[in-house]
Chain A
Amino acid sequence: MKFLLPHRFKKIGLTLAPSGFLLWLAMQRGYITRLCTEFFGQDNPVPHFGQYHHINVASATIGFFSFLVGLYFIAFSKEKIEDEMVQRTRMDSFQIAALLQLVIIIIGFTTLLYSNLEEEITMLLIFIVATITFWISFVVRFNYLLHYRIK
């Protein structure tokens, strides 16, 4: 595959993905707001950044996209030795991941049709879960088959 990144991007991805996830989790659990309150006091704007709400939105966005970019780096980096079996395993893992994503989307939309959930938020959630499922299942399966099953 011509569009694969050099092997060093895997290490960058392995740092970026967990830190992005931790940042997103910190925002969701309210640690960012708590940290801002600790430093600047209740409801005071943070200099150069504005209200805590803006910082939370920025943290969530940076965290989520760092997580996705990190996963992309892990998934699309070359192995140390890139041979035909690695390429075959990558293609197989892509197929399984795509299938899983399709299943998530079908289940999600069927649930949405037959329930009273709020459409916009649920659809957004379905797409987020489907995207993350695709990347995580691909990365986990590919690396498991290549590095853990074969010893």
Chain B
Amino acid sequence: MKNYLKEERTKRDWTQAQLAEKVQVSRQTIISIESNRYLPSVLLCLKIAGIMDLKIENLFELEGHDWRA
């Protein structure tokens, strides 16, 4: 799953730590999501999208291989 978290975060001038605090997770979690090492739960995706005032599909996007899982 592709995500635009880093782009959207830097647009808002937020640090990883600030975003982590807003959604109540650790900074490591934000780093892992941004680098595509961790696939967040629907709940966390919704929280992040909500905090950024975005629709979830503008932040996370399915890729071709996601359909083959």
Contacts and interface: CB of A to CB of B under 8 A. Distances in A.
Interface of A: 79-81, 83-86, 88, 146-147, 150-151
Interface of B: 20, 24-26, 28-29, 31-32, 37-38, 40-41, 43-44
A88 B40 CA distance: 10
Contacts of A81: 20, 24-26
A79 B38 contact: no
B41 A150 contact: no
B26 to A, nearest CB: 4
A141 B36 CA distance: 19
Contacts of B32: 85, 150
**Which 4 pairs, one residue from A and one from B, show the smallest C-beta to C-beta distance?**
A83-B25, A81-B26, A85-B29, A150-B28
B31 to A, nearest CB: 5
B38 A86 contact: no
A41 B14 CA distance: 69
B51 to A, nearest CB: 15
B15 to A, nearest CB: 15
Contact of B29 (A80, A83, A147, A151): A83
B38 to A, nearest CB: 5
B31 A84 contact: no
A84 B41 contact: yes
Nearest to B43: A84
15 contacts: A80-B26, A81-B20, A81-B24, A81-B26, A83-B25, A83-B26, A83-B29, A84-B41, A84-B43, A84-B44, A85-B28, A85-B29, A85-B32, A86-B29, A150-B28
Contacts of B37: 150
A92 to B, nearest CB: 11
B35 to A, nearest CB: 8
Contacts of A150: 28, 31-32, 37
A151 to B, nearest CB: 8
Nearest to A81: B26
A121 to B, nearest CB: 44
A88 B44 CA distance: 13
